[in-house]
Structure 1
Amino acid sequence: MLGKLKDISLSNWILIGMILGLLTGIILNFFVPDSFFKNIILVDNIFYLGGSLFIKLMRMLVVPLVFCSIVVGAASISDIRKIGSIGGRTIGIYLITTALAVTLALAIGMLIKPGAGLNMVAAAQSSNVTLNQTMTDTVLNMVPDNPLNALSNGDMIPVIIFGLLIGIILAKLKEETQIVSDFFSQGNRIMMEMTSIVMKFAPIGIFCLMARTFAGLGFEGLLPLGKYIICVLIGLAIQAFVVYPALLVIFTRLNPLKFFKKFFSVMFFAFSSSTSNATIPLNLEKLSELGVSKDVSSFTIPLGATINMDGTAIMQGVAVMFAAQAYGMDLGVTALLTVIFTAVMASIGTAGVPSVGLITLTMVFNSVGLPVQAIGIIFGIDHILDMFRTAVNVTGDAICTLIVSFKNKSLDVDVFNGNKKMDPANTVLLDDLDII
């Protein structure tokens, strides 16, 4: 029996915690009369302590994890200057599609209003981006007066800017700063391991958050949660089947239907595995069959699996609107622009650990002063949505690779259109992936 319990994955334990917390909260709300034990001991102490402790552990991780990831990521990304236009175009397209993704998500959230009706009490937390703040102030506040203060206060955009600058300089100086580079690389590894440890407590934390929330909300809280799922799925569908095909047609004039016909198996594998990294070999093989030069794809696909997180950006954009509406907070234009910028930067700084999207979502919430407690409501269902997000992520990697390959005259259009077979010499082997 214990052996079978050990075989259950963390994602499934989180889902179990969410369901049990939901049922517990509803039972306490509708079938258990108010009492000292229910209201004070259970809801206001045990559930509050368990949920709040988990949230505090996550917030503890945010600044050091993101800072180290940004520094290490920027240091490695800047190496692409050696391959000139391929690197520049790849990074540019990846960032543009991520910005489009989070903008789309915010628009869908404003239209459908998934968090309306929850009427949750706003946490005692002031917004970092006030409604009357000018764009000039926002730009100036991106640069920290004191980096240590930005790190200690959790001001994420200054932290990101400072981390990017350090990473770029480390890449430029190379061997001269090898000790410092190793320090941040090892720090990044430590923070990823710490994240894995903290996430082991996620099922208990999610159970407590869900139980305490629905002990007061009941069934009326289910409708906003369903609307949140619908919003994310709509955003992912539009990104995958409208935005990506439109970009492919605009930049290459290729037929998107031919792409999806050949690429569907990769999307299905990504959906079932929920990991972009595991999909890299299959993605590379399929792109070779589509006529993409391995010299391009062996660089762009591993890079995209690291920094191109359009599906995650859509989830974060919808989550922001969900939380803002649930807590009755009206985000202004400056705050929304901050969300877009932070989500794009978070995609670059995403570490390759399970459920790290939750950590970067905390960072996005902090950037505009949203209560992170709202994450507990949506995180339990995140594994289900993560399968769809991963499929969108790898599709975006492939579309961007096709565009970059076409612009650099490294795409055999006849192979793409099925007019001739792929050159066997263009087959990508794992040994070719020296970038990984």
Structure 2
Amino acid sequence: MSTAPEATSSPSVLARIRKTPFWVQIVAGLVLGVGLGYLARAADISWLATTLETIGKIFVQLLKVAVPPLVFTAIVVSVANLRNVTNAARLATRTLLWFMITSLISVGIGIGLGLLTNPGEGTNLKTEGLKALDSKGTWIDFLTGIFPTNIVDSFAKVNVLQIVFLAVVVGAAIIKLGAKAEPVLKLSESVLELTQTALWWVIRLSPLGTLGLIGKSVAKYGWDLLKPFATLTLDIYLGCALVLFVVYSLVLRFAAGLNPLHFFKGAWPAIQLAFVSRSSVGTLPVTRRVTERLGVPSEYASFSVPFGATTKMDGCASIYPAVAAIFVAQVFNIELGIKDYILIAFVSVVGSAATAGLTGAIIMLTLTLSTLGLPLEGVGLLLAIDPILDMMRTATNVAGQVVVPIVVAAREKILDVAAYNNPSGDLYEEDAKPAVVAAQGGAATAAA
């Protein structure tokens, strides 16, 4: 008995969207967001501006809610798994060394651009009535802030520095206790997998989040706000672009003997998500996935990527505070000397963990200004355009968090060069593969 073949129905709109490459979805959200934001501002449509702001706010909140468990379990697992990595101490030392090298290069570019362009001269910005921030941002506050006084409070207030400190201690204790601490390690691994799975669902909403975040920025700030900060904004974007596309390419070519084009092909999903979300920690699952897809062993990536997401900030902690410090000094007519520029470089290398992978770099800027003795009121001048600057800064941060593990792995001869040269496949569909494989395995077992 034969049955007539069923008529094939046309795919639904949702199915068509899922088949569209993810980067196309991101770009579409970006373009649509700019258009809707401009419409809301030009036509003074308050409900549209509010809707865009709400969409963007919810997206960022969903990313942030995963920060405490993600950072804690990722660091715990990565530190504990160092016992399974050959030459773990050597790899950790080399990773930190390359973090410092690229940070110094980045801050040098920031200082150079600031001295060449004088971003604070001729801005005619009024400084009367500006209120200084609280005393937070000094070195004493930074150092004492690392050590928690209340564990629950550290997680409730999302103090990433304290969470990282606790995670490192727990990870080291797991190594020390060995088999006795195995249940704690298994629990941490399970929570990490659970958090990453839930975060992947949020990441799939990035096109919608892009629409809201970009649309809100255009509707709220427009283009007029950038005029007094034009030189500063151009300096930040140019400096980040030089580091992202030139410095990292040269490091990959001459320090690791690799073709930089393959890096950008493989790492671009993480870079574009970082640009939109403005969060290194929120991008962490994608950053780790692209790092492994580019040939870095998972055992090493599980340590270097979370470590980088909380300490490696070439955009937020090197380029930005260097240019911003020069900007603030010029606005307040304060002359900086060679000693001050050396201090900027020192702060960028030692204090980069102060940015802690969350959106914004205000803590790092206050730390730099307080070290130089510059008015903290200058931070208030930059708050309005910080979201615009932060997009490019975070994209640079995340790119550096992928570059360094690749360079270290290549120099230590543990990089899968074939995988690096061919980072193929749809990154955003790979998360479904383990479930598919497991299902197929279960079906095969049942059939047997």
Are 1:71 and 2:64 counterparts? no
Alignment equivalent of 2:136, drawn from 121, 130, 136: 130
Counting only pairs closer than 5 Å after superposition, residues 261-340 of structure 1 correspond to structure 2 as 263-264=258-259, 267-274=260-267, 275-280=290-295, 313-317=313-317, 321=321, 339-340=351-352
| Distance of aligned partners of 1:130 and 1:155 in 2 relative to their CA distance in 1, 3 Å threshold | same
What TM-score does the superposition give when structure 2 sets the normalisation length?
0.60
Are 1:23 and 2:32 counterparts? no
Counting only pairs closer than 5 Å after superposition, residues 208-219 of structure 1 correspond to structure 2 as 208-219=212-223
Aligned to 1:289: none
| Distance of aligned partners of 1:184 and 1:5 in 2 relative to their CA distance in 1, 3 Å threshold | same
Are 1:140 and 2:144 counterparts? yes
| Distance of aligned partners of 1:377 and 1:155 in 2 relative to their CA distance in 1, 3 Å threshold | same
Secondary structure at the aligned position of 2:149 is classed as coil
Q: Distance in 2 between matches of 1:382 and 1:18?
A: 18
Q: Distance in 1 between matches of 2:31 and 2:172?
A: 45
Question: How much identity, in percent, do the aligned residues show?
Answer: 14
Gaps of 5+ in 1: 120-125, 246-255, 282-296, 347-359, 411-426, 431-436
Cα RMSD (Å): 4.8
CA drift at 1:197: 1.5
Does structure 2 retain, via aligned residues, the 8 Å contact 1:236–1:389? no
Q: Distance in 2 between matches of 1:145 and 1:340?
A: 22
Q: Distance in 2 between matches of 1:65 and 1:341?
A: 17
Alignment equivalent of 1:233, drawn from 233, 236, 241: 241
Partner amino acid, structure 2, of 1:234: L
Secondary structure at the aligned position of 1:188 is classed as helix
Alignment equivalent of 2:26, drawn from 3, 11, 14: 14
Aligned to 1:97: 98
Does structure 1 retain, via aligned residues, the 8 Å contact 2:77–2:189? yes
| Distance of aligned partners of 1:361 and 1:316 in 2 relative to their CA distance in 1, 3 Å threshold | farther
Aligned to 1:350: none
Counting only pairs closer than 5 Å after superposition, residues 155-174 of structure 1 correspond to structure 2 as 155-174=159-178
CA drift at 1:4: 3.8
Partner amino acid, structure 2, of 1:400: V
| Distance of aligned partners of 1:146 and 1:205 in 2 relative to their CA distance in 1, 3 Å threshold | same
Q: Number of residues paired by the alignment?
A: 342
Aligned to 2:374: none
Q: Which has the higher contact order (CA 8 A, sep 6+)?
A: 1
Does structure 1 retain, via aligned residues, the 8 Å contact 2:111–2:319? no
CA drift at 1:69: 0.8
| Distance of aligned partners of 1:324 and 1:229 in 2 relative to their CA distance in 1, 3 Å threshold | closer
Partner amino acid, structure 2, of 1:201: L
| Distance of aligned partners of 1:180 and 1:401 in 2 relative to their CA distance in 1, 3 Å threshold | closer
Gaps of 5+ in 2: 1-10, 126-131, 268-289, 332-342, 367-378, 420-448
Aligned to 1:58: 63
CA drift at 1:67: 1.1
Counting only pairs closer than 5 Å after superposition, residues 41-56 of structure 1 correspond to structure 2 as 41-43=47-49, 45-56=50-61
CA drift at 1:228: 4.0
Alignment equivalent of 2:188, drawn from 184, 187, 190: 184
Does structure 2 retain, via aligned residues, the 8 Å contact 1:14–1:206? yes
Does structure 2 retain, via aligned residues, the 8 Å contact 1:157–1:342? yes
| Distance of aligned partners of 1:306 and 1:211 in 2 relative to their CA distance in 1, 3 Å threshold | closer
Moved more, 231-240 or 175-184: 231-240
CA drift at 1:312: 6.5
What TM-score does the superposition give when structure 1 sets the normalisation length?
0.61
Secondary structure at the aligned position of 2:20 is classed as coil
| Distance of aligned partners of 1:364 and 1:382 in 2 relative to their CA distance in 1, 3 Å threshold | closer
Does structure 1 retain, via aligned residues, the 8 Å contact 2:83–2:175? yes
Does structure 2 retain, via aligned residues, the 8 Å contact 1:129–1:368? no
